[in-house]
Amino acid sequence: MAKRLARLYSWNVNGIRAATKKGFADWLAGCEAEIVGVQEVRALADQIPPEVASQTDYFQSFSAAERKGYSGVGLFSRREPEWVKTSLGEDRFDCEGRLQIARFGRLVVANGYFPNGNGKDRDNSRIPYKLDWYQALFKKLAPLRRSGYRILVMGDFNTAHREIDLARPKDNQSTSGFCPEERAELDRWVDKGWVDTFREFEPGPDHYSWWSQRFGVRARNVGWRIDYVFASPSAMPFVKGAFIEPSVMGSDHCPIGVDVDPEIFG
């Protein structure tokens, strides 16, 4: 008999209250996940809809931004983690509620809502902040890697890595999310051994996780793949599949994730 795999999901829900009105609670109850990381929660812990908060099959943890209705991440897991950390050690990062790092035995899951580099006037003025955030997370995870933990970094990375990862690369060379310096930061992660799990299993085009909300864009699949699960070298042997679920509605992003051997927990 084949071993039952454990499923881990990541989903930018673009507001958990709005997503719940579109079926998120039903999806969560039925997805049979071991762990779900959500991003762009945009709610304080006491604002989580009761349809979600009442799901006792999951341990639930949230990290909110200081600014109301902005950013925020949440974690749902069948087992309670040994610990959950939310700080990168600098207030300019931590005040935006973009990160949870949770330990489950020998597995560490980092659930991140990576910054967008657009800036207020779409002038790419936040790219330096975005790259600093990436690098701060990289440094935060380094000692955990050295200690032998199996690490999965999931979330909305807000960057399409390669031309294959967005429908119109030539039109977006200067758009935050596909600027050379943003793509180079993902190159750096890969060069240091991190694995883009989806590309390990699917080398082909036309696989996206985010679409503009302009009419007809999603139906025509004019999208970007900016949501990822990155695996450390010690975690990757336990990853048995990766997927994107574009048919799941409720947000301008869709769920993505991996199936792992339960031995990853150690």
Catalytic residue IDs: 156
Q: Residue 242's CB: how many other CB atoms inside 10 A?
A: 22
Structure tokens at 6: 């454990």
The CA distance from 188 to 14, in Å, is: 28
Chain-centre distance of CA 151, in angstroms?
A: 13
* C-alpha distances in Å from residue 49, one per residue of 18, 44, 52, 101, 175: 10, 10, 5, 23, 35
Tokens 């799941």 correspond to what residue? 248
Structure tokens at 63: 């990290």
Give the side-chain half-sphere CA count within 13 A for 196.
Answer: 21
Cβ 151 vs Cβ 110: under 8 Å: yes
